[in-house]
Chain A
């Protein structure tokens, strides 16, 4: 931990960069392991972060992932500039997808991403503005039972 007992790091994700897809979430996963987070929490955080990273690559122009680790919780903010989401409730529905053929050929875009992020987090907040971008806030509690 660093200043005020909080570890922070920021990661840039470029829209359309399928070649590097997964690198940021792998780096975050390895950082969390090095810090000594419990393996079950690292697994959930890695999966949710990978989904968030893929969403930026697949749908946004560019974005950032902000990792904060503080006593009792891990917080990951994924914010992008992109087309945004018109109907968040619909986008959260399992199986609903606006993925292109290219995304599907890579094995993604089955419409599980946002629902899977929600499943793996202890708290999940999504906000979006059409034409501007989307913001996901992922929280993982590290000091006990899941709520």
Chain B
């Protein structure tokens, strides 16, 4: 089990939605750039890891009740996308790690 704070530390990430709860515990992670696959396969309560930064990521994430979105490769969404995430209380963490490395670091932290 990892908290959002633990995920941020593992990924040297930055919280793009300040003020949100970081002690939320997470044990399921789902990595995809295909929102169609997210809608079809993500377990509720997961962390969504993606390289996609448009508003549909937030809209998909809120609908499938993710605990947070992790954006990889140093990608930054437009301010309106961050505002949308803040409105629906979905934290966004940005990391410079590529997807494989981000998944690997999370996996390592989960088994520590």
Residues of A within 8 A of B (CB): 18, 21-22, 25-26, 29, 43, 46-47, 50-51, 106-113, 115-116, 119
Contact = CB atoms under 8 A, between A and B. Distances in A.
30 contacts: A21-B56, A21-B59, A22-B56, A26-B59, A26-B62, A26-B63, A43-B64, A46-B63, A47-B39, A47-B64, A50-B60, A50-B63, A51-B39, A106-B56, A107-B34, A107-B35, A107-B36, A107-B57, A107-B60, A108-B35, A109-B36, A110-B34, A110-B36, A112-B37, A112-B39, A112-B40, A113-B36, A116-B39, A116-B40, A119-B40
A73 to B, nearest CB: 21
B36 A112 contact: yes
Given A107-B57, A108-B56, A25 B36 contact: no
Contacts of A110: 34, 36-37
- The secondary structure that dominates the A interface is helix
- The secondary structure that dominates the B interface is helix
B40 A25 contact: no
Contacts of A111: 36
A106 B35 CA distance: 8
B49 to A, nearest CB: 13
A112 B35 CA distance: 10
Interface residues of B, number: 19
B52 interface: yes
Interface string B93-107: 000000000000000
Interface of B: 33-40, 44, 52, 54, 56-57, 59-60, 62-65
B92 to A, nearest CB: 16
A67 B78 CA distance: 33
Given A22-B63, A29-B63, A106-B35, 16 more contacts: A21-B56, A21-B59, A22-B60, A26-B63, A43-B44, A43-B65, A50-B39, A50-B63, A107-B38, A107-B56, A108-B36, A110-B34, A110-B37, A112-B39, A116-B36, A116-B39
B65 A107 contact: no
A51 B64 CA distance: 12
Contact of A25 (B37, B56, B63): B63
B112 to A, nearest CB: 31
Contact of B52 (A50, A107, A113, A116): A107
Nearest to A51: B39
A106 B57 CA distance: 9
